[in-house]
Chain A
Amino acid sequence: MNRGSSEEFHTYTDKVIEQFRKPQNMGRIENPDGVGTVGNPVCGDMLRLFIKVKNGIIEDIKVETFGCVAAIATSSMTTQMAMGKTIEEAKTITRKMVADALDGLPPHKMHCSNLAAEALQKAIEDYERRAKGDKPANAQEP
């Protein structure tokens, strides 16, 4: 069993806790232009990210997250970093940039709880696929 008031809590930065307490852009978008779903069976975090794109700019972004404090904080941070960016700009957003924007994550959380940037890239791929007229990928329910 893993306990409350543990060192775990204290290894999160203030920014992580702040994002966890008041996460931004959480939820889903009806009729999105792109959807990216990622999940990690080892640690179990799972998230689905939605984008709405207009004139090549991400004009709305939302994310649904099942996971730990780090998963929720990185989800929220990723959406804030991508909001209002062009698709090309958003493509450059990486896990490391998200972690850095949160003043870092505990080492064991770097991989499985920092999936939002990956979900963003998948949502962009989905958007580009749809723009080309292919059928949407990743849009199914989990």
Chain B
Amino acid sequence: MAYLDNANSTRVDDRVIEAMLPYLREHYGTAGMELGHSRDVTAMRGLENARKILAQSINTEPLTIVFTSGQTESNNLAIRGAALANSDKGKHVITCATEVMSVLQTCKALEKEGFDVDVLDVDQYGLVDIAQLTKRIRSDTILVSIQHANGEIGTVQPIEEIAKITSQRGILFHTDATQSYLKIPIDTKTTPLDMITFDAHHIHGPKGIGALYIRKGTRLQRIMEGGDEERRLRPGVPDIPAAVGFGKAVEVWGGNEPAQLLALRKYLEQKLAGQLTELRSTGHPVKRLPNLYSMIVEQIEGESMLVQLDMEGFAVSTGSACSSKTLQGSHVLKAIGLPPEISHGSVRVSLSRFNTKQEIDAFVQALVPTVERLREFSPLRRGEYFAYESNSEDEHQDEKLDEV
């Protein structure tokens, strides 16, 4: 039994839950007024303390952190908010094909509102090409949004290089660091990032709370109307207990965790390589999240592996089309050039502080017979794939936003 789907969401740490409880039971003020009654004041102190902890984690001032409801809202606020506030300077936005839906769909919506959006390709490892990015920059480019690390294949983008390019040209740079936050350090003093998205539930905090770092002086327009909360950028009473939990999750994050996660992932990789054949990993071999291993198990399909593993108590993910209601395969696996018959065999294992070597052993012990069983009656043989009658090439190379 093991939960190996931490890139999806993580177990809330008990210390986080304990920290949150008083803010549900006792300090239920709205943090609205500094000179208000005591419940408000205590709530506000909790909220501001969390903001301070978050700020320290990326070497910035508390004023630059705005709490949101999570990754989706932070991405919407960053992209839409920056596009609208800077549309007098230009209407061109650049992003890349492997971003999450809240980035891609926000860009798509902006396109309908008269903005121009360029979606960069990625290479076979999922990396954006800096030369291509530079070439696409125009005089009316106002915003670049490229994620820090990809949640499906783990590839880490060269955000330091991108930030250098955008800052020299006066273009805003937003990065979605949800998957990498705390696992790969970000220093806002040394890297000129303008906006950073992150959230709590990927680091053992609660769901429904995220944050957006907004560098001082960044022009941003709010996307929701209301009161003056969160520097007027995010009206509405913030979820204070969740924000406190978010802060606690950051506070208890151990400095050696990335190294431990990496060691555990390497252990998994070695075990798999020794026990399974016709297996390939996806994503960049080195520039990747420490806790994420994504692979393609050839000749078989991901959903059947996932369900079999689930019955045996192991939670993993797949990018296989068969496993989604729309029957669309992962847009990330498509972007790195994998045709559907190959991406069908995708399995993602993502680790957390709660996983152990024993769990990895048990997982591999369950996976190997699962793969063998399904391969036994697969019509596909080693090195052979479908011979489709239709020309599926066009479909895979299409990078229009509509296809995302």
Give A contacts to B, CB under 8 Å: 1-6, 8-9, 12, 17, 20-21, 23, 26-27, 37, 39, 41-48, 63-69, 71-72, 108, 112-113, 141-142
Give B contacts to A, CB under 8 Å: 5, 7-8, 151-152, 299-304, 306-311, 314-327, 329-330, 340-341, 344, 348, 374, 376-381, 384-390, 392
Cross-chain contact A43 with B322 (CB below 8 angstroms): yes
Chain B: minimal CB distance from A80 (Å): 15
Cross-chain contact B379 with A5 (CB below 8 angstroms): no
Distance in angstroms between the alpha carbons of A71 and B323 in the assembled complex: 12
Cross-chain contact A142 with B380 (CB below 8 angstroms): yes
Q: What residue of chain A has the Cβ atom nearest to residue B300's Cβ?
A: A66
Contacts of A26 in B (CB 8 A): 376-377
Cross-chain contact B379 with A1 (CB below 8 angstroms): no
Distance in angstroms between the alpha carbons of A71 and B380 in the assembled complex: 15
Cross-chain contact B307 with A67 (CB below 8 angstroms): no
Chain A: minimal CB distance from B317 (Å): 4
Residue among A1, A27, A108 with the highest chain B CB neighbour number at 10 A: A1
Residues A64 and B322 in contact in the complex (CB < 8 Å), given A5-B310, A44-B344, A142-B386: no
Cross-chain contact A4 with B315 (CB below 8 angstroms): yes
Contacts of A113 in B (CB 8 A): 322
Q: Which of A2, A20, A46, A47 contacts B304 (CB 8 A)?
A: A20
Distance in angstroms between the alpha carbons of A71 and B379 in the assembled complex: 13
Interface of B is mostly: loop
Q: Which of A2, A12, A17, A45 contacts B323 (CB 8 A)?
A: A2
Chain A: minimal CB distance from B210 (Å): 19
Cross-chain contact B379 with A66 (CB below 8 angstroms): yes
Cross-chain contact B384 with A42 (CB below 8 angstroms): no
Distance in angstroms between the alpha carbons of A26 and B320 in the assembled complex: 23
Contacts of B314 in A (CB 8 A): 4
Q: Which of B5, B316, B317, B340 contacts A44 (CB 8 A)?
A: B340
Distance in angstroms between the alpha carbons of A43 and B328 in the assembled complex: 7
Distance in angstroms between the alpha carbons of A6 and B311 in the assembled complex: 12
Contacts of B385 in A (CB 8 A): 142
Cross-chain contact B310 with A9 (CB below 8 angstroms): yes
Distance in angstroms between the alpha carbons of A95 and B133 in the assembled complex: 50
Cross-chain contact B303 with A69 (CB below 8 angstroms): yes
Contacts of B374 in A (CB 8 A): 72
Chain A: minimal CB distance from B100 (Å): 10
Query: What are 28 A-B pairs at a CB distance below 8 A?
Result: A1-B330, A2-B302, A2-B317, A2-B320, A2-B324, A3-B317, A4-B5, A4-B309, A4-B315, A8-B307, A17-B307, A20-B308, A41-B340, A41-B386, A41-B389, A42-B327, A43-B321, A44-B322, A44-B386, A45-B301, A47-B379, A66-B344, A66-B379, A68-B303, A68-B322, A141-B381, A142-B380, A142-B386
Contacts of A46 in B (CB 8 A): 341, 379-380, 386
Chain B: minimal CB distance from A70 (Å): 8
Q: What residue of chain B has the Cβ atom nearest to residue A75's Cβ?
A: B377
Contacts of A47 in B (CB 8 A): 379
Contacts of A3 in B (CB 8 A): 5, 8, 306, 315, 317
Residues A1 and B348 in contact in the complex (CB < 8 Å), given A8-B323, A44-B322, A64-B377: yes
Chain B: minimal CB distance from A9 (Å): 5
Distance in angstroms between the alpha carbons of A48 and B302 in the assembled complex: 19
Contacts of A44 in B (CB 8 A): 301, 320-322, 329, 340-341, 344, 386
Distance in angstroms between the alpha carbons of A20 and B303 in the assembled complex: 12
Beyond contacts A3-B5, A17-B307: 8 other A-B pairs, Cβ-Cβ < 8 A, are: A2-B319, A2-B323, A4-B316, A17-B311, A26-B376, A27-B377, A41-B386, A48-B379
Distance in angstroms between the alpha carbons of A3 and B324 in the assembled complex: 9
Contacts of A65 in B (CB 8 A): 377-379
Chain A: minimal CB distance from B304 (Å): 5
Contacts of A141 in B (CB 8 A): 381, 384
Distance in angstroms between the alpha carbons of A141 and B387 in the assembled complex: 9
Distance in angstroms between the alpha carbons of A67 and B7 in the assembled complex: 25
Q: What residue of chain B has the Cβ atom nearest to residue A8's Cβ?
A: B323
Distance in angstroms between the alpha carbons of A69 and B320 in the assembled complex: 12
Contacts of B344 in A (CB 8 A): 44, 66
